[in-house]
Amino acid sequence: MTEKAVPSRVFEAAKQEAERAKKAVSTPQTQHPAYKLAFQDTEFLLREDLRPVRFQLELLKPELLLDEARICSMMVFYGSARIPEPAKAQMLLDLATDERGRRVAQRLIEKSKYYDVARELARLASEFPRDVNGNRHFVVCSGGGPSIMEAANRGAVDVGAETVGLNIVLPHEQAPNPYVTPSLSFQFHYFALRKMHFLLRARAVAVFPGGFGTFDETFELLTLIQTGKIKPMPVLMFGREFWERVIDFEALADEGVIAHKDIELITFVETAEEAWAAVQAFYARDEGA
């Protein structure tokens, strides 16, 4: 038997059918929205009762493309979109108009060092070799935005590696930073699906100082590990002084709302080298178990 004798498929591909549908003879029936193929009807797909379908599509599209890119694991970066690149940090102070603004600007300038730290950690992770099957590991992934996210994607580009950006539609216009690989740049409507994609392939997470978004993503990760919903992984929190000033972890344990051992889910680090060594040590232990 040959391919000519036994066809690989008997139905035309949806893409071909869709092209044919566009050329339909114009009549009152064919011009009405009801006649559109369901998967070409944007208004239909955006109906309130189609939300479960949109959930599925938003889960499936990045999953398929990341699989096709042979990305098996990722090094995920969380952190503020407001921490400036060191070279641009002074600009914040120059723009401050009152004393409170100057204090805030100074605090952000002090944290600008983490831009370079994130960039260096991304370089280290991006140099991790492919496995024997050609699959990629510890591929750098960020939220695709500015600041710490930009630094992570930039670090990967520094060493010629591809890098993932998981952007989200926000009320104010936001474009992916220029260091995200175009074919690995994804846009989300649903925060929940975006957060799921951060963690589906995450094998280590670097958490830099940040605000509500960083807290949301980090505490969801810690909760998933604490409750056994996902396997433990390195959770690297940069800047112990910052984190212990804004969150009193020991007080949470002393109040009985978490266990003291839960604090051990966090590894506090200051440098890229220290963080990458912690990742390597974690998986060396795992292999020896």
Task: Write the pLDDT tens digit of every residue in 15-64.
Answer: 898 888 888 889 998 889 999 999 999 999 999 999 999 999 999 999 99
Residue 1 has pLDDT above 60, yes or no: no
8-state DSSP, 83: P
Domain at 179, CATH number: 3.40.50.450
Most confident by average pLDDT, 103-112, 145-154, 166-175:
145-154
127-162: per-residue pLDDT in tens? 999 999 999 999 999 999 999 999 999 999 999 999
- Categorize the per-residue pLDDT at 4 as very low, low, confident or very high, splitting at 50, 70 and 90: low
Residue 174: per-residue pLDDT: 76
66-100: per-residue pLDDT in tens? 999 999 999 999 999 999 898 887 887 888 888 88
Identify the CA nearest to 205 among candidates 177, 184, 241, 231: 231
**Domain contains 43:** no
Average pLDDT, the chain: 93
The span from the CA of 122 to the CA of 135, in Å, is 18
The pTM score is 0.92
**Domain contains 8:** no
Residue 234 has pLDDT above 90, yes or no: yes
Taking the alpha carbons at both ends of the chain, their separation in whole angstroms is 51
Alpha carbon 40 to chain centroid, angstroms? 29
The domain total for the chain is 1
The span from the CA of 71 to the CA of 136, in Å, is 5
**Domain contains 44:** no
**Domain contains 200:** yes
Q: What range defines the domain where residue 102 resides?
A: 54-288
Residue 140: per-residue pLDDT: 98
Residue 289: per-residue pLDDT: 53
The mean pLDDT of 110-120, rounded to a whole number, is 96
**Domain contains 41:** no
**Domain contains 128:** yes
Residue 10: per-residue pLDDT: 85
Decide if 168 contacts 213 (C-beta within 8 A).
no
**Domain contains 91:** yes
8-state DSSP, 186: E
φ and ψ of 261, to 5 deg: -70, -20
